[in-house]
Structure 1
């Protein structure tokens, strides 16, 4: 069987370090040591809001509605992907909330729960499925459905689960509607006219994705630095967070692979299930956090999302190649 194509995204998937994460870390350090304050911070907050609106508009404009609906026909695989994303991982996130404060601080526990409520990645999960010689078409559909549904499901789950566990999110319904749902809906309305152009010019959406993430990261950390919210994050706390995120990732990877076998999915479908069901979207998670949470809380939940993102890239790259070798 010929080897799968190696697009530029695969270069990221094969490595241990995501260049986007490197940029985010640099921006985090900038926010820690040179935080935005005063009028400059106010201007950045306005720019951030506009960037988030544009981001979710482009999400809607580039997703063909017909392809999403057609993908629902494989209900067993698509249902398994959604269950892994929005049932299994949130359950693992709730289990993390049982850890005592001495093991993991409440803010970081809240961030772990938040990341488990996010939709799946699109680009990297599809690339990993291709490397594993899995069902790429199903991965594209599943990741797309996950992201479309996440516009609604993630804010709802944040409102229910994070409030119930003592982590009030502070986001307003008006903000969610105006900054997330409305731009996405408008993008879907105009998608038949501009969708093809947006998909052909992927650099625009890639620039918007990365620019918004970096802007959200810098403004959130700046606001947290000014308020002193990150003063208690030590090297030990960071190490514990890495271990906790690794255990959550290991749990969903194992459950997805062996659960797919129990459901009777073939190896190609199981590869798609693992890669889509276990990954969480940094591109959606950080901008959405800026809408759902107060600035200080948003900075606290950002760190677990970043850590999990790097772990999933490194781990899924290794697993994808291993699945491909044993076929």
Structure 2
């Protein structure tokens, strides 16, 4: 029953992380230590992403301009505007930092592993899915902070210290991984399970530290049941719009069915692997957890929905 409810094993891990952070948040002198561990884990995460994303496949896949252009436009265009609309919709009903989280969700790139895995399971174009993940995440390191700054107004202002942290914690490790790809990529690919475990540990660590600060700051005393229900409802609206919109866009672009499936998962999913460290970089620790709440809910929901949709799509085309 649990396997049917949570087809992706990372969903219970994220739920457990939130529960542990709520019951045993990091406090006092332990905070700098936990933040240091989280930062180191994030650096490792982006270094491994740099090692894994293949440059030659990216260059080859760019030729499929309808698919890649559609994924890029939907991920950073349509979803950014949808996040802005969701923020405006939720602003009168939720604390400002929580409503801002919907815009933050909208400007994030797609996932890497889960979008590719879902595309493969559904009979999509796996090579194009890898390329889409690479392009969107390469662009996201640069574009997501800029989009957030442009759309969030004063709340999204990126100061010099934050910009330096983005470069030092996200961009430089990624570029170092790209530079070391020739020597390390075969090793990482041989140990995919270990690399995935390290990825997910880094994400869970970043979420735990950010959410701990939000718990210490009183997130559960600031939010009541009605407000939590609003977050769930707005996230459900965004999720339905994202999956429905990408499938419709694939039809309008007259993509072949495997490419349409790839666009569905690459365009509709959003990356917590980028969102958690970016939130820790852009926002004070006291509010980063509040901003992260919408993407946390969305991320868990997209994993469950993708794991349900992918086998159904595969059955329809006899995969």
Judge same fold: TM > 0.5, yes or no. yes
* CA deviation after TM superposition for structure 1 residue 102, in Å: 4.3
Q: Give the secondary-structure state (helix, strand or coil) at the position aligned to 2:6.
A: coil
Contact between 1:285 and 1:305, CA under 8 Å: does it hold in 2?
yes
Residue 221 of structure 1 is aligned with which of 193, 211, 217?
211
For 1:195, the equivalent position in structure 2 comes to: 185
Task: Map 1:301-316 to 2 at 5 A.
Answer: 301-316=291-306
Contact between 1:172 and 1:292, CA under 8 Å: does it hold in 2?
yes
For 1:32, the equivalent position in structure 2 comes to: 22
Residue 69 of structure 2 is aligned with which of 72, 79, 84?
79
CA offsets per residue over residues 276-295 of structure 1, 9 Å max, x none? 11001122221222122211
* CA deviation after TM superposition for structure 1 residue 103, in Å: 2.9
Whole-Å Cα distance in 1 between the matches of residues 7 and 48 of structure 2? 27
2:243 paired with 1:257: no
Contact between 2:8 and 2:307, CA under 8 Å: does it hold in 1?
no
Contact between 1:17 and 1:310, CA under 8 Å: does it hold in 2?
no
Whole-Å Cα distance in 2 between the matches of residues 15 and 117 of structure 1? 28
Whole-Å Cα distance in 1 between the matches of residues 299 and 130 of structure 2? 19
Contact between 2:148 and 2:156, CA under 8 Å: does it hold in 1?
no
Task: Map 1:87-166 to 2 at 5 A.
Answer: 87-99=77-89, 101-163=91-153, 166=155
Q: TM-score, with normalisation over the residues of structure 2?
A: 0.91
* CA deviation after TM superposition for structure 1 residue 230, in Å: 4.2
* CA deviation after TM superposition for structure 1 residue 17, in Å: 5.3
CA RMSD of aligned residues (A): 2.1
Contact between 2:42 and 2:203, CA under 8 Å: does it hold in 1?
no
**Higher mean Cα deviation, 173-182 or 36-45?**
36-45
Q: Give the secondary-structure state (helix, strand or coil) at the position aligned to 2:213.
A: helix
CA offsets per residue over residues 245-294 of structure 1, 9 Å max, x none? 11111112222112211112121211111111100112222122212221
**Which runs of 5 or more residues in structure 2 are unaligned?**
none
* CA deviation after TM superposition for structure 1 residue 184, in Å: 0.8
Q: Give the secondary-structure state (helix, strand or coil) at the position aligned to 2:63.
A: coil
Q: TM-score, with normalisation over the residues of structure 1?
A: 0.89
Whole-Å Cα distance in 1 between the matches of residues 62 and 130 of structure 2? 12
**Which runs of 5 or more residues in structure 1 are unaligned?**
1-10
CA offsets per residue over residues 200-232 of structure 1, 9 Å max, x none? 112332222122122212211222222324421
Q: Give the secondary-structure state (helix, strand or coil) at the position aligned to 2:168.
A: helix
CA offsets per residue over residues 106-141 of structure 1, 9 Å max, x none? 222211111111111122212221222221221121
For 1:8, the equivalent position in structure 2 comes to: none
* CA deviation after TM superposition for structure 1 residue 168, in Å: 4.9
For 1:293, the equivalent position in structure 2 comes to: 283
Query: Would you say how many aligned residue pairs link Structure 1 and Structure 2?
Result: 315
For 1:268, the equivalent position in structure 2 comes to: 258
Q: Displaced runs of 4+ in structure 1, greater than 6 A?
A: none
Residue 12 of structure 2 is aligned with which of 18, 22, 39?
22
Residue 277 of structure 1 is aligned with which of 247, 264, 267?
267
